Every structure is written in structure tokens, then in C-alpha cells.
Amino acid sequence: MDNYLVSARKYRPSTFKSVVGQKALTATLKNSIATDRLAHAYLFCGSRGVGKTSCARIFAKTINCEHRTPDGDACNQCASCRDFNEGRSLNIVELDAASNNSVDDIRALVDQVLVPPTSGRYRVFIVDEVHMLSTAAFNAFLKTLEEPPGYVVFVLATTEKHKIIPTILSRCQIYDFNRITIQDMIDHLSYVAQQEGITVEQSALNVIAQKADGAMRDALSIFDQVAASSMGNITYASTIDNLNVLDSAYYNRLLEAFLSQNVPDALLIYKEIRDKGFDSHFFITGLGSYFRDLMVAGNTSTLCLLEASDEAKNAMAAIASRCTPQFIYKAMDLCNDADFNYRTASNKQFLIELTLIKLCQLLSPSPNSGDGEGQLKKIEPVAQSSTATPAYQAPTAAPAATTPPTVQATAPTPTPAPTPTYSPASRPVMSAPAPQAPRPTAQPTTVRRSASPTATISIRGKIAADTADSPSATATRVELRNTPYSDNALDMTWETYIQSHPKSHILINTMRMARPQRIGEHLYLVKVENPGQQALMEQALPDIMDHIHRSLGNDYIKINIAINEGDAAPHTWNEREVLNHIIETTPYFKTFCEDLGLKLS
């Protein structure tokens, strides 16, 4: 009984004609052999499993073949070909640079170069994974690679050409191998299945080819695995179960949920996928690839970018015709964002579910946005009884938005103050009011103004909303505090703000040197020395005013910042000036320092 041989070895190409997916490259090699224009060094580059080493062996066998076929392949009948096929040819030497990458290994190889062939014309040295050689080994190899004997041909193979030093590259003819296409792999797997007597579905071969990612050796290995599990009957269902591949039917069902804006269905499908053991990151990247395939399938000019069989391409194009390009682009962007944020997300399941909800809302444009981006539907306001008076609610009969604000007071009517404006700290700040009659301190002033929000929420949780076709807004009531205060109280509040910000050194030094000076009833002026201090104070002013309004309970206070154009402000004493002042005012302290010999450094 013969020993079992895996398909990747059993069906390894033995002639240029049997090489899969490299027709242009093999044609070039055959032409160079036919015209006897052989270089002394070749470099085969490409990803794994595309046939680099196989082509190197075929090339080595063909240049020593005694009776080549008319199409340029080896005859496999002469003594040289038989020796090669039986693995006992002395004219072909293979070296794995991954495990033989030292200077000594290269020197041993150079010693073998000096031995001429006993039969045939050439000795071929195949160095696989040549990028693994050390720098010293590369340097030891340079002279021999540049000027080898006439009977020597070097064939170097690598998956990472960028790791090879330029001096090696300049001495070789470079051949770049292509990734094998899906269709080429499907055709070759069909041939292997026919030779092995295995029944197979084309859709199953498409899944295997997609899983192999352009490597024929990987495709044959996966083929053997699926054939063993399915007992020689490879079906689509058995293939996706054995390879743990997420069926495209799940993505088609999710697309239906997205197009119908069915959030529950999308979440349930995602749960079903997780229950089958699929990783959420694998799922979201697969969903992004699915939308990418829909994008290229939606246009006949880009359909060739879809790596699939013709049947799969037509099916994907039919699905893509139901989607608008804008929907697909936004879906791709959402999937890309979820993939980018997945590693840093603390709740990964929530991230994926939120992405699915956004995908379901892409076709539900928001009435408040003009770009058509989907948002949740607007929640209708709850109707309110006209007789109910909610807490913290303006009186009925709210004025229109264009109605000027009115002032209501319960005591003697004061002169109306200017309309209040809001600072960034969300506190109403009044400009300096005109001289007016004394205000009663017992009753706060009430200012009614039009409000911009479309709905206000009362303490009882009720919602009052504007009608959609009315330009007027609901009036809200803002009560401005007017608690009496003194200049000393404001100065103490100014100092407490300084004490609460010890790390803002420049700001607190400026505030210590520049104190507020009253210039009106509630208006104060702070003079600083330069534009830099002015910009710093104006930047911090909203926070300072918020602190003052809360501390003094008066919202009418206002502070202006100006540059001092008169005498310079007194500067802050340094340590020496402080010590001199203490010595002058306290004679005993001077005697104490002299007795102990204390000096200020």
C-alpha cells in the first residue's frame, strides 16, 4: 500500500505548463531557455504558496534537460530529468536560508560552487527565504553571486524583497510572482477533485479559494482537510462548518434588516452569530468587507475587482443594485470606525450593537439635518392639559419670539434694565444699568424673555413642546439675583478665587496686582499692565464672574478689563524686600538675625 501524499506535494507542478496563475512569468523563463540567454542569478519574489520554489526547480530541471519538448518544457524522460524526479540529481543544490543563514553556511555553499557538474551543463543553487541571511552572510555571498563560474546559476527565492540589501538586488534578474486568482484556484481544485474522485460543489471551492488568500499551497491543504471531514463529498455546508467560515447568508440577512430599518432583527442576527462562536472583531471586519464587495459589484467597470467566481459576482451585483452608493459608503465608514475603536472599547459587544443600530438608521433621514444622515425618529411631545400649571413653568399666554422682553416686579417699579446676555459659564450677566430708584431687596426681579429650545421639562417630568408650524417659542422665566453686597465683600470673593487656583501662577499674580475698582452701581474695572495680561484675564473672566455671582448672590455685577495707561501698578515685593521691611519695622528681629548669623542667600 502506497503512503498517503498530501495534494500540495502530489500535485506540485513539474513543468512550466502545470504552474498555476503565472503564465506571463513562465513564458519569459521558457523563452530565455529556448534562446539560451540565461542569467547567472535570478530572484523570485512573491507571497507564500504562489510557486516560487516550484518554478525554481522546474527551471533547474529544464535547463539541464537533454530533449526539451517543442513548447520548452522538460521531457521527464532523459537521465537528467529522471535523476531530478527521483531526488538524486547532483546538479541541483537547495539551501534553506531560514535555518542556514550564517557566514559559515554561505562559505560552504561557495565551496560547492567550485565543483563542476558531472553530467549536464549547469549546476543550479536554489536559496530559499534568502532574506533571512545575516548581513555578514550577504556580504560573504556578494563576490560569488556577481561573478560565478559559467556553469553555475543561482535562483534566490523570498517572500520579503524589501529585506534584501540593494547590492544583492542589483546582481539578479528579479521576477515578481502574482497572487493566484480565485478563478485559477477553483479551476485547479476542480482538476484535483476530478483526479481524486471527489464530488465537490463549486460554491464550496469558492469558499476554499477565498480562505486560501491567493496561495495555491494553502488552497490544496484546505481542500485535503475538507475532503477528509466530508468523506469525499465536499458541499458548501460542510465546508463552512469545517473551516468555521461566517456564511454570507448572515450578511445578506443583515442587509435586509438595514434596508428595512429593523433594529431588533439586526441585533438578533448578531446574537445568533456570537452564539455560533464567531469573534465580534472578525464579524465587523467581515461586514466591512461585505460592503466593500457590494460597492465594487454595484458598477460594471469595477466588478472585476471582486475576487469571486462569475456566479458569485452576478449574485453580488444583483444585491448591490438594491442599495444606493451613499448608503454603502456610509456603511463602510461605520464599519471602519467600529474596527478602529474595537481594541480600545471597554464594552466591545455594545460597540458592535451600536454600529448595527446606526446602520439600520442610515435610510431614515433626520428632519433636523440636511445631509440625509440617518438618525432616530423624532419623539412626539406629550400633550399637556391647559388647566395644569407645572412647577418651574412660565405663566400661560407666552409672547411670540419677536415680542420685546418685559419686566415684572411686585414692588415699586424700577427703571427697566438692559436685556441680559449669557456668558460662557451659562450665568446671566447684566450690563451696567442706568441710575434708578432703590430696588426692594425682598423681591427678586423677574425678566421674561423668549427661549430658543423647542421643549422645556418641568420638575414633575412634563414636557411642553411647540407646534411644528408655529415660529413662536415657549417663554421661560429667568430670575436674576440682586442680593446687596459691598466692595469689601467683592474683594474678599476676588481673593477666594485666587486661593482656589494655586497652580495658575500667572493668572493669580495678575489678579493680586489688579483689583476691581467700582465705576458704576454694579460695574467694576480691572486695570492690567500689558495686552498679554488682558488676554489672560478675558479668557478667565467667565469663570471668575461665575464665582462672583454665586458667592455674592448678585447677577448684575459686571467687570471690564482694560490696560493701565497711567502710572504703573505697584509691583509685588520679592523675598529680600519683604525681609528688609520686617527688619526696619521690627528691631528685635534684626538683633535675632545678627546673633545667629542669618543671611538671606
Segments making up each domain of the chain, as ranges: 7-176, 182-243, 248-360, 419-433+440-570
Distance, in Å, from the CA atom of 438 to the CA atom of 435, rounded to the nearest integer, reads 9
- pLDDT one-digit tens code per residue, 509-527: 888 888 898 988 889 999 8
Residue 342: is its pLDDT beyond 80?
A: yes
Q: Is 320 helix (H, G, I), strand (E, B) or coil?
A: helix
Would you state the pLDDT for residue 573? 58
Q: Residue 242: pLDDT band by 50, 70, 90 thresholds?
A: confident
pLDDT value, residue 237: 85
- Who has greater pLDDT, 445 or 191? 191
Closest CA to 508 of 536, 487, 486, 545: 536
CB 20 within 8 A of CB 180: yes
444 — pLDDT class (breaks 50, 70, 90): very low
Residues 6+ apart with CB under 8 A from 52: 44, 45, 46, 157, 158, 159, 177
Q: State mean pLDDT over 439-450.
A: 43
Q: What is the pLDDT of residues 567-584, one digit of tens each?
A: 555 555 566 666 777 777
Q: What's this model's pTM, rounded to 2 decimal places?
A: 0.56
Q: What is the pLDDT of residue 156?
A: 93
Question: What pLDDT is stored for residue 341 in this prediction?
Answer: 92
Report d(CA 386, CA 389) in Å as an integer. Answer: 8
- CATH architecture for the domain at 182-243: Orthogonal Bundle (1.10)
Are 135 and 165 within 8 A, CB to CB? Answer: yes
Average pLDDT, the chain: 79
Q: What is the pLDDT of residues 530-544, one digit of tens each?
A: 888 888 888 899 999
Q: What angle do CA 128, 129, 135 make, to 5 degrees?
A: 115
The predicted structure's pLDDT at residue 568? 53
Looking at per-residue pLDDT, the higher value among 250 and 395 belongs to: 250
- Asked if pLDDT for residue 387 goes beyond 60, the answer is no
CATH number of the 248-360 domain: 1.20.272.10
Q: What pLDDT is stored for residue 351 in this prediction?
A: 94
Name the residue with cell 495555491.
216
Confidence at residue 570, expressed as pLDDT on a 0 to 100 scale:
53
Q: Which residues pair with 456 in a beta bridge?
A: 464
Quick one: fold of 7-176?
A: Rossmann fold (3.40.50)
Burial (Cβ within 10 Å: 0-12, 13-18, ≥19) of residue 585: exposed
- The DSSP line for 211-224 is HHTT-HHHHHHHHH
Q: Which residues contact 543 (CB under 8 A, 6 or more apart)?
A: 425
pLDDT for the residue 125: 93
User: Are 201 and 194 spatial neighbours (Cβ–Cβ below 8 Å)?
Assistant: no
Higher pLDDT pick, 371 / 520: 520
pLDDT at 353: 94
Burial of 379 (0-12, 13-18, 19+ CB in 10 A): exposed
Which pLDDT band holds residue 80 (cuts at 50, 70, 90)? confident
pLDDT for res 566: 63
Q: Give the fold, CATH level 3, of 419-433+440-570.
A: GMP Synthetase; Chain A, domain 3 (3.30.300)
Query: pLDDT tens digits for 290-341?
Result: 999 999 998 888 888 887 777 788 888 999 999 999 999 999 999 999 999 9
